[in-house]
Structure 1
């Protein structure tokens, strides 16, 4: 009887714990793709929040499509979450901003929706309560400022972008072009400020590291006098072995700065690339901070508190000169 009593007590305790856990309200973070190491930093921030807020009654839930190329899959995940009674708020990094906006407009969610890392377009901004993440236009400005320091006389440049409909990447490209040209609203560099985009560029990676590296290799081969290659996102560097092979073919040019590489993000393999002379500048976002702060922002929205419509998380500017002390992540 004593054994049975202990067994019953143990099962009862497990049931209570399970019931308490089941009653937790879900704060969902939906990213563009689980295959991108950048978003894993957001997940780590989310999980740290969970570890520090076990008795809050809320759980931070990180999810997304398996592949960053699955735009429709991301929209479907958000739509499914909207139909779950335990989900009380959602933070979305939209891969295809117009596609996500159409679904949100149709569904008219009754729970708070915010964006994280990537925003909806200005025309659709009313569909979310706030945006938490990088000032992407300013990130593009920083790309350009560093490039102009390295190449004050201008030259030829190729911009590598991600998804055609990703608002965050398009904002970075706009900041880059406007700053290099000295003119707002520059759609393409055709000599303004001494800079010209080469034929065949920009190139679009669709968030695929293998494609990004192939594009770089092809561009270097076809344009031996190229002055600068700009990774508006870090895609190629997320596959460090392939990126090393691609940059091996131009290492002498990188050392002499005849060819300059400016890139986005500062994850560990990217900082190694910078230390090894395989890039000259890394402008970093703060994805861990995004994931860590998002649950608190969602709770504030749930509670009806006033939240700024835009919350920027800052940038880190890492160069070959300050790489040993520059904070990556």
Structure 2
């Protein structure tokens, strides 16, 4: 059985290292949407933990991605470069699922391909052996359930999403809409169960924290009667100082539940915001677990072993009734 080592890298150094390590068949590549996102750094830390526990391994695993999460084309190019040069296996978190799938299909690699954190669309599922990560539809369901507890009669809502082509984020939005609206395949909430998406929403952050906070601020000003703001991903909270400034403007409404904020992910700055009353619920993924498990899954695939599809990593839900995970992290 082959034995593998993880080398976690960052930024341009990671890409340079990828070019070198991919010259042989001993590279496990993990390609994320962007190295500027603290969520993906947790995947990196999971890889490092795997390395500590497999310190005598001789093979290499590369953690990399474009410098910016907004660089969809850059991520596709990195995957292209790695597959053309040659890797033992690759785990991809596609920022733009259709574009990434098209490129992988064109290359037709003869090595195992899996997705991590974000999946391809169903019509491209044949391109990867398995998906490791969150049940994103369920994550949206959980967000809706938290909103419905606080606003049982519904209300006006704005959903904040990431990239237009991000399948994982869009799946969360679908889970929220279907659960809040009480029906399947709702394209937009327009009064179902009392919930209505306001004009101008959903918002698309392109995974940029500064844009996410500006969008929140503008939405609060333009819609003083807004009932709920849902960060389908945690982008605004990844910039805690800016997020604090934005929520300072509506703290009275947040304290009275006149306005509620439901947010995705449970990274430390987000949990701090929750404890300060700057959100009412956090629905968290487990990115560390994704990074920790990915090398072993790739090894199984390389060895021709049967791997379940999908491989879900679970969720952590924090709310004011049960702070749970967010109370101590």
Deviations 1:161-197 (A, max 9, x none): 0000000000000000000000100000000011000
What is the distance in 1 between the residues matched to 2:222 and 2:103?
A: 41
Cα distance change, pair 175–107 in 1 and its aligned pair in 2 (3 A):
same
8 Å CA contact retained: 1:271, 1:323: no
Instruction: Give TM-score, length-normalised by structure 1.
Output: 0.91
Match of 2:18 in 1: none
Instruction: Give matches, 1:219-298, under 5 Å.
Output: 219-298=219-298
8 Å CA contact retained: 2:177, 2:189: yes
Cα distance change, pair 63–84 in 1 and its aligned pair in 2 (3 A):
same
Cα distance change, pair 328–188 in 1 and its aligned pair in 2 (3 A):
farther
CA shift at 1:326, angstroms? Answer: 4.1
Cα distance change, pair 325–99 in 1 and its aligned pair in 2 (3 A):
closer
CA shift at 1:140, angstroms? Answer: 0.2
Cα distance change, pair 326–285 in 1 and its aligned pair in 2 (3 A):
same
8 Å CA contact retained: 1:266, 1:328: no
Instruction: Give matches, 1:296-311, under 5 Å.
Output: 296-311=296-311
Match of 2:54 in 1: 53
8 Å CA contact retained: 1:28, 1:90: yes
When the two structures are aligned, how many residues end up with a matched partner?
307
Match of 1:115 in 2: 115
What is the distance in 1 between the residues matched to 2:117 and 2:186?
A: 24
Instruction: Give TM-score, length-normalised by structure 2.
Output: 0.91
Counterpart secondary structure, 1:274? helix
CA shift at 1:325, angstroms? Answer: 4.9
Q: Which runs of 5+ in 1 are unaligned?
A: 1-21
What is the distance in 1 between the residues matched to 2:325 and 2:169?
A: 27
Q: Which runs of 5+ in 2 are unaligned?
A: 1-22
Match of 2:142 in 1: 142
Cα distance change, pair 227–90 in 1 and its aligned pair in 2 (3 A):
same
Match of 1:16 in 2: none
**Comparing 52-61 and 243-252, the one that deviates more:** 52-61
Deviations 1:33-79 (A, max 9, x none): 00000000000001111121122332221000000011011011011
8 Å CA contact retained: 1:267, 1:328: no
8 Å CA contact retained: 1:65, 1:74: yes
Displaced runs of 4 or more, over 2 A: 54-60, 320-329
Deviations 1:245-281 (A, max 9, x none): 0000000000000000000000000000000000000
Cα distance change, pair 46–108 in 1 and its aligned pair in 2 (3 A):
same
Cα distance change, pair 168–327 in 1 and its aligned pair in 2 (3 A):
farther
Instruction: Give matches, 1:52-201, under 5 Å.
Output: 52-85=53-86, 87-201=87-201
Structure whose alpha-carbon radius of gyration is higher: 1
8 Å CA contact retained: 2:31, 2:79: yes
What is the distance in 1 between the residues matched to 2:198 and 2:207?
A: 21
Pairwise CA RMSD = 1.4
